[in-house]
Amino acid sequence: MKHQNPDMLLFIGIGDAFAAGVEYVDNHKNPELIKRALKFEEYVQHPTHSALSPGAYTDDTEMSVANARVLVEHGWPYNNLMFADSYVREFLRGGGRKGYSRQFQSFLEGLKSGEEFLARINPNSNKNGAAMRAVPFGVLRTIGHVLEVAELQAKITHNTPEGIFSSRVVALMSHFSLYEDGPLSDLPDYCRSHLPSDSVKIFNKVFTSRWPNSAIDNRLYGSVAISTVHAVIDALTHQKTLLDMMRQKPHGVSPCGCFILRWCARHPLSKFDKNTTIVYYAC
């Protein structure tokens, strides 16, 4: 690994906590909140998600930690039960942290084991949850393993073309940042060269066109997962600084992904200064 960084999970939490305060917030209805958030001086309270305090991370970080625990605690090959057990244990360890979707929060609150998770889960979501927790898989040594594990964990909850593709793309981008020296502008070609050709054919637009800088939802592709990876790829390949990326897309989930992928791999926390990093606490 050329760009090893022990701060990866910390950066995931920081980006997640920032994004949590402005996720899906309408810029026109909440201009002062957006303006305050983009000063990067503090975390902000989401206008409707009052159960999540400013500076607290969400399910994206908690499930990323759960995925990382599987890699640390188990050897190859990995299986569904390892991940399901880890998701339940991490949720219980966190005291039933808020930040999950209402339906998934209720689902987890009724579980005590990974076996129950697998028996009761409806794995057909095409949203972006599998992608948002896939960054830790970039540490795996081979691209084959990266793709295999990203698909494995996606199928547990997001067994759809969109869920699997988005998880693989995020894991590949993370792997590129950790193992390769090329500029991040190489990410689209790198991903296309390693992803299955059938999925590239279906979703090639995320690599070849600019993101229109609209709200990250399901209107463009019918799946927020594909919109998410498109927005993140666009930011990583065209924006030069962290602030540019965050200010370009403050209203969706991509700030978290941009923060993680653009900085955690190649820039240890010690290299940041007060003008570059938002305050972090209470994660």
CATH number of the domain that residue 207 is part of: 1.10.4080.10
**Per the domain annotation, does 237 fall within a domain?**
yes
Q: What is residue 246's predicted lDDT score, i.e. its pLDDT?
A: 60
- The whole-number mean pLDDT for each consecutive block of 10 residues of the chain, a chain of 283 residues, reads 86 85 84 86 90 90 97 96 98 91 94 98 95 94 98 99 97 93 92 98 96 75 90 81 59 52 55 44 32
**Per the domain annotation, does 3 fall within a domain?**
no
**Per the domain annotation, does 130 fall within a domain?**
yes
Q: What is residue 262's predicted lDDT score, i.e. its pLDDT?
A: 52
- DSSP letters spanning 79-138: -HHHHHHHHHHHHHHTTS-S-S-HHHHHHHHT-SSHHHHHHH---B--SSHHHHT-GGGG
pTM score of the predicted model? 0.90
Query: What does the radius of gyration of the chain's CA atoms come to, in whole angstroms?
Result: 17
Q: What is residue 271's predicted lDDT score, i.e. its pLDDT?
A: 52
Q: Are 26 and 3 in contact (CB under 8 A)?
A: no
Q: How many domains does the chain have?
A: 1
Q: What is residue 249's predicted lDDT score, i.e. its pLDDT?
A: 52
- Token digits of residue 6: 């022990």
Q: What is residue 198's predicted lDDT score, i.e. its pLDDT?
A: 97
The Cα–Cα gap between 129 and 228 comes to: 10
From the list 283, 281, 239, the residue with the least C-alpha distance to 262 is 239
276: Cα within 13 Å, side-chain hemisphere = 14
Q: What is residue 282's predicted lDDT score, i.e. its pLDDT?
A: 32
The Cα–Cα gap between 191 and 207 comes to: 8
**Per the domain annotation, does 282 fall within a domain?**
no
**Per the domain annotation, does 281 fall within a domain?**
no
**Per the domain annotation, does 234 fall within a domain?**
yes
- Which helix (H) or strand (E) covers residue 51, if one does? none
Q: What is residue 281's predicted lDDT score, i.e. its pLDDT?
A: 34
From the list 147, 160, 152, the residue with the least C-alpha distance to 190 is 147
The Cα–Cα gap between 215 and 35 comes to: 17
Length of the chain, in residues: 283
**Per the domain annotation, does 159 fall within a domain?**
yes
Q: What is residue 76's predicted lDDT score, i.e. its pLDDT?
A: 93
- Token digits of residue 17: 């906590």
**Per the domain annotation, does 278 fall within a domain?**
no
- Cα 53 to its chain centre, rounded Å, is 20
Q: What is residue 244's predicted lDDT score, i.e. its pLDDT?
A: 65
Which residue range(s) make up the domain with 112?
8-271
